[in-house]
Amino acid sequence: MGVSKYKRLSTRLRGLLENKSIDDDKPDNPKEMLMEIIEAYKEARKLTDDYLYDDHISWLKNSFNKGWFEFPDDYDFNASRWSLGLMIAQVERYGGIVMDTKKGTLPVSLDHPIKDQSYRITEKE
C-alpha cells in the first residue's frame, strides 16, 4: 500500500469511529425499535390533554436552543422514540399531529378550537 492508500484507510477508520453512535440504548433491529416506540405510545396515550395537545417538536427545538438539553448528547434514540410515541398518540386522539402554526394550533376540534380567527370556516359562513 502506498502512503495515499494508508491515508485514505486511516480517514475511513477515523470516520467510522467518529460516526459511531454513542447511545447504547438504540435497538439492534427494526422489531426492537418498533417495540420501543409502541411502549412510548402506550405511555403517551395516558397523558391528559394539557400535556398531549402540544407541539412536541417545537418544544424539543426550543429546549435545545435554550440549552435545557446538551446537543448532540441528549438527542438520542430515547428522545426520538418518545417523540414518535407522542405523535402516534396525538394522531389517535386528535386525528393529526399537534402543530403550532401562525394561524393557530392544528388539528382543530371542538375541544381545541382556534380562537376568533376570521379564516375559520363555520356553519354561519
In a domain, 9, yes or no: no
For residue range 88-103, list pLDDT tens digits in order: 999 999 889 999 888 8
Name the E strands within 1-125: 99-101, 104-106
In a domain, 31, yes or no: yes
Hey, which of 7-11, 21-25, 62-66, 112-116 has the most confident mean pLDDT?
62-66
Which residues does residue 101 pair with via DSSP β-bridges, in sequence order?
104
Question: Quick one: average pLDDT of 42-52?
Answer: 92
pLDDT of residue 87: 95
Closest by alpha carbon to 90, among 109, 114, 76, 69? 109
- Rg of the chain taking only CA atoms, in angstroms: 21
Domain with 74, as residue range(s), is: 27-95
**Reported pTM:** 0.66
In a domain, 11, yes or no: no
In a domain, 12, yes or no: no
Q: Distance (Å, rounded) from C-alpha 100 to C-alpha 60?
A: 13
